[in-house]
Amino acid sequence: MTERQDLAGKVAMITGGGSGIGLGCARYLAEAGARVAIIDVNQAAGGAACEQIGCGAIFVRTDVSSSADCRHAVEEVADSFGRIDILVNSAGVIRRKSVVDLAEEEWDLVLGVSLKGTYLMSKYAIPFMERTGGAIVNIGSGWGLKGGPQAAAYCAAKGGVVNLTRAMAIDHGPQKIRVNCVCPGDVDTPLLRSEAVQLGVNENAFMAEAADRPLARVGTPLDIAKAVYFLVSDLSLWVTGAVVVVDGGGLA
């Protein structure tokens, strides 16, 4: 446990917080003193994440593509902690297919979780954040800034997240709500490893190819969590509408 406690008194909601990047963010923000709410559709993963984090973390099972679920999650967190200061929209899924091969239901799933989920969680959290100001970080992707093969829905969703971030920053700056986007490269998570299965390729070879970038490794959830921490902390009080690429030099 680190001695950082500069987020003490803050309340952070993290979608997709049961695993991967979301869990990494939840752990790191909790270590900085924030009270954390894990928002995830996976009951077992969400409960395990809360046990792992401790520090009074709570879990609210939520399908972020459901308006009713998102409203309930925000109200539950506000009732439990009395405020909402930080929202990290990290929930996401991927289907490695072209538009020709992609089923309509798969398109709806990917866009529903990554893009609609970001919209819905923000829609219901912002009215609470307006009372004291706050910070929202949307998790985009390098493929939200450039194209990628056999990932049409994912690229569309993450591209939408990037520009939604800019629009939200403009709209909600006057309420002292900062909105930024972190675009990770390949990060070692269950989501990334699932892509090897979807593509029918060897996982070790897939991960080795993912590490082919200037810093010669895939990222970790902690790499992304540190960037998120910067954007929700007082270190970035004049930063909003920014898109921060954290990818070991992959886009370069």
Model confidence pLDDT, tens digit, residues 122-175: 999 999 999 999 999 999 999 999 999 999 999 999 999 999 999 999 999 999
On the question of pLDDT at 2 being above 70, the answer is no
Query: 235: how many CB neighbours lie within 10 A of its CB?
Result: 10
pLDDT value at residue 1: 42
Residue 121 located in a structural domain: yes
Residue positions annotated with a catalytic role: 154
Residue 208 lies in a domain: no
166 in a structural domain: yes
- Is 186 in contact with 148 (CB distance < 8 Å)? no
By the 10 Å C-beta count (0-12 exposed, 13-18 middle, 19+ buried), 4 is classed as: middle
Mean pLDDT (whole number) for 177-203: 96
Handedness of CA 220, 226, 227, 231 (dihedral sign): positive
| 18 belongs to a structural domain | yes
- Domain presence at residue 206: no
Distance CA 140, CA 117 (A): 12
pTM for this model (two decimals): 0.95
Name the percent of the chain lying above pLDDT 90.
97
What is the edge-to-edge ordering of all strands in the sheet holding 11-15? 58-61, 35-40, 11-15, 86-89, 134-139, 177-184, 243-246
Within a domain: 207: no
Which pLDDT belongs to residue 3? Answer: 58
- Write out the residue range of the structural domain in which residue 46 sits: 11-185+220-243
Three-state SS across 185-215? CCECCHHHHHHHHHHCCCHHHHHHHHCCCCC
Residue 5: per-residue pLDDT: 77
Q: At what angle do helices 67-81 and 117-129 cross, to 10 degrees?
A: 30
Tens-place pLDDT, residues 7-40 = 999 999 999 999 999 999 999 999 999 999 999 9
What pairing do the DSSP bridges indicate for beta strands 243-246 and 58-61?
A: unpaired
Do the Cβ atoms of 47 and 25 come closer than 8 Å? no
> Do 45 and 118 touch, CB atoms closer than 8 A?
no
Q: Give how many domains the chain has, as a whole number.
A: 1
- Determine, yes or no, domain membership for 195: no
Domain presence at residue 192: no
pLDDT tens readout for residues 80-129: 999 999 999 999 999 999 999 999 999 999 999 999 999 999 999 999 99
Q: For residue 128, give the CATH number of its domain.
A: 3.40.50.720
Mean pLDDT of the chain: 96
pLDDT at residue 92 in the model: 96
Q: Across the strands, what pairs with 135? A: 86, 178
